[in-house]
Amino acid sequence: MENQEKGFKKYLVGIICLLIVVGIFGGIGSVMGLPNMLNTIMKTAHDLLLNTVFYLMAICVITGALGRIFVEFGVVSLLERILRPLMKPLFNLPGVASLGAVMTFLSDNPAIISLAKDKRFSSYFRKFQLISLTNFGTAFGMGLLVIVFMISQGYFVEPFLGLCGAIIGCICSTRIMQHFVVKQYPEFKEEFAAVLDEADMKADDEVKETSLFTRILNSLLDGGKTGVDVGLSIIPGVLIISTLVMLLTFGAGSNGTYDGAAYEGIEFLPLVFGKINFLFEWLFGFEHPALMAFPITSLGAVGAALSLVPEFSAQGIVNGNAIAVFTAIGMCWSGYLSTHTAMLDALGYRKLTSKAILAHTIGGFVAGIAAHWLFVLYALVFGTPATFEGGADRYSTVSNAPVIIEFVSENQVKVGDRVFTDEAGDTPEEEGSLARVIEGMLLTNHETVELVDGEKIDAAGFISAEKLPAATRESLMTEVQAGFDMYRNSIAQKMFGKPVAELTEDEVKVLDEAIPFQFTPAEEIAEE
């Protein structure tokens, strides 16, 4: 009887597992189409393997070699002495852990494992501290890339406010993880992660007696070999978890349909978080639910998340506060869902993965909240940080003036102060199209135009109209109309949370009153 019950429970668990798997992928397949879903999964995993995993493996090899050099020639010991007063009170880690922060900041999360697997490096740590290095190192992953990218978008102060937020989040994540480890394994609080025995010390002495060239060569090769092992160990986590996250985060292709291409999805996670955007508006200061796509995407790959920022800028929904929060969360959550499992597995503590993910989830939220309030404090004391030309304000034009389109050459037009090559084969919805440029300019000017008594201004006007061939003029008019329509939809989404097509007649009237532009292009506007 007892054996029958065990057999029934075993089959019941199997049935439940099967139903969950069929439910998840059946739901995704019903939206994308089963063939498209399968093609997207395979192509996404394949692209991740070629362009992400091997890239990370290369990082591991380089940083492993560099870290081994630092260990070999005493840089680790030097950092331990210099930074001990700072690292201990903040992170409860030995000063040498700062090397891990530097390595991950310059490269990516797995760089910390190349160091942690080195016996001489890990000998500074007790076991609970070594395990928490996964949380500590992840919080700085790809930090340099994130900050440089945000600066390139026209923001200078905000990325460094985000860096401060990431440090605060790192403190929380690391200490929470240490608490979880000590609570489950009290003996880890006293046990050292590694102990250098006489053989290790003797080997060190023998190595130091060899020539300088040999020491450098051996360090580079040994460290690089460790990096290869680590790179191989992260493959399952990246391919499985990242593919699933991206499948639930991204939408259809650029033409609005599914064709089985890589990185398509059903936008489930943005939809869910959009329902509770009021919470994230309070926590992070986000003014638009679409901004949550950045933190969500960062869970799988912060590089993919960064690609969303120019689109947000073009839509006029990103501001300095969002950039600060993006930087903090982007660093703290830089793909940790896809790397935490592999990192802890490489250290030999896979069973603690769930606790590491929970601790780092909390740390990421703390980082974002801290960055938001640091931005608010900075704005109160110094005023809102300004952006520089070529960044977020690159679409700006003179207030209370139409968007001017000037014919330059056979296929080039000048929109505002930007020269744009009008590609014959593109569509208005494509990133970088003329319509998207016009939409971005209108969105940027939306809050700055000062009108009286319901006055409206032209959305676009042509100069040098006599130079425009009939076919070119018709093509430009189509692009301008599409840009104006996308701008109008963006304002409708911001005001009512839905596109123009779903608005009631009364809502359309309210929308049109709020929009300062009208699409009545002048036949010709003389050059000033």
Do 349 and 153 form a contact (C-beta atoms < 8 A)? no
Question: Would you say residue 266 has pLDDT above 80?
Answer: yes
Q: How far apart are CA 137 and CA 117, in angstroms?
A: 14
CA angle, 136 as apex, 131 and 137 as ends, to 5°?
Answer: 100
Does the residue 17 lie in any domain? no
Do 415 and 364 form a contact (C-beta atoms < 8 A)? no
Do 114 and 147 form a contact (C-beta atoms < 8 A)? no
Residues 326 and 424 in one domain: no
Does the residue 91 lie in any domain? yes
Query: Which residues, 6+ apart, have CB-to-CB distance to 48 below 8 Å?
Result: 238, 239, 242, 243
Domain count, the chain: 2
CA 115 to chain centre: 25
Residues 300 and 191 in one domain: yes
* Amino acid at position 526, single letter: A
Q: What is the pLDDT of residues 124-179, one digit of tens each?
A: 888 888 889 889 988 887 787 788 788 877 788 899 999 999 999 999 999 999 99
Does the residue 457 lie in any domain? yes
**pLDDT value at residue 304:** 66
Q: Which of 382, 413, 434 is the last residue of a domain?
A: 382
Q: Which of 350, 382, 414 is the last residue of a domain?
A: 382
**What is the Cα gyration radius of the chain?**
27
CA angle, 40 as apex, 34 and 42 as ends, to 5°?
Answer: 105
Number of alpha carbons in the 13 Å side-chain half-sphere of residue 193: 24
Q: How far apart are CA 476 and CA 42, in angstroms?
A: 39
Q: Which structure tokens are listed for 473?
A: 């003029």
Do 459 and 403 form a contact (C-beta atoms < 8 A)? yes
Q: What is the pLDDT of residues 325-361, one digit of tens each?
A: 999 998 998 867 767 777 787 777 888 888 988 999 9
CA angle, 295 as apex, 294 and 300 as ends, to 5°?
Answer: 95
Of 116, 132, 115, the closest CA to residue 172 belongs to 132
**pLDDT value at residue 377:** 92
Q: How far apart are CA 247 and CA 421, in angstroms?
A: 34
CB atoms within 10 A of CB 55: 14
* Amino acid at position 528, single letter: E
The helix (H) or strand (E) run that includes residue 382 is helix 353-382
Residues 320 and 412 in one domain: no
Residues 378 and 421 in one domain: no
Residues 421 and 350 in one domain: no
**CB-based burial label for 426 (10 Å; 0-12, 13-18, 19+):** middle
**pLDDT value at residue 189:** 86
pTM to 2 decimal places? 0.58
Q: Which structure tokens are listed for 467?
A: 């130079």
375 band by pLDDT with thresholds 50, 70 and 90:
very high
Q: How far apart are CA 24 and CA 216, in angstroms?
A: 52
Q: Which structure tokens are listed for 15?
A: 């049935």
387: left (phi over 0), alpha (psi -120 to 50) or beta: beta
CA angle, 302 as apex, 301 and 308 as ends, to 5°?
Answer: 110
Does the residue 414 lie in any domain? yes
The strand pairing partners of 506, in sequence order, are: none
**pLDDT value at residue 525:** 47
Q: What is the pLDDT of residues 60-108, one digit of tens each?
A: 787 778 777 877 787 766 766 787 788 889 999 988 888 888 878 876 7
The strand pairing partners of 418, in sequence order, are: 415
**pLDDT value at residue 389:** 40
Kindly report the backbone phi and psi dihedral angles of residue 481, in degrees, each rounded to the nearest multiple of 5, phi listed first. -60, -45
Residues 364 and 488 in one domain: no
Q: How far apart are CA 484 and CA 247, in angstroms?
A: 31
Does the residue 444 lie in any domain? yes
* Amino acid at position 386, single letter: A
Q: Which structure tokens are listed for 7?
A: 């057999």
DSSP 49: I
Q: What is the mean pLDDT of residues 227-247?
A: 73
**Domain of 508, in residue numbers:** 404-518
5 band by pLDDT with thresholds 50, 70 and 90:
low
Does the residue 525 lie in any domain? no
Residues 344 and 297 in one domain: yes
> Of 365 and 293, which is predicted with more confidence?
365
Q: What is the pLDDT of residues 179-216, one digit of tens each?
A: 999 998 898 888 877 666 655 555 555 545 567 777 78
Residues 221 and 275 in one domain: yes
Please report where in the chains the tokens 């006293």 appear, as a residue. 190
Kindly report the backbone phi and psi dihedral angles of residue 367, in degrees, each rounded to the nearest multiple of 5, phi listed first. -60, -45
390 band by pLDDT with thresholds 50, 70 and 90:
very low
| Least confident interval from 128-132, 217-221, 461-465 | 461-465
> Of 420 and 266, which is predicted with more confidence?
266
Q: What is the mean pLDDT of residues 460-471?
A: 67
Number of alpha carbons in the 13 Å side-chain half-sphere of residue 405: 32
Does the residue 393 lie in any domain? no
Q: Which structure tokens are listed for 468?
A: 């425009």
Residues 370 and 458 in one domain: no
Does the residue 438 lie in any domain? yes
Q: What is the pLDDT of residues 488-518, one digit of tens each?
A: 888 888 788 788 888 888 888 888 888 887 7
Residues 373 and 445 in one domain: no
Residues 377 and 453 in one domain: no
Do 405 and 460 form a contact (C-beta atoms < 8 A)? yes
Alpha carbon distances (Å) from 55 to 20, 61, 62, 166, 301: 33, 10, 11, 24, 13
End-to-end CA distance of the chain: 95
Residues 432 and 463 in one domain: yes
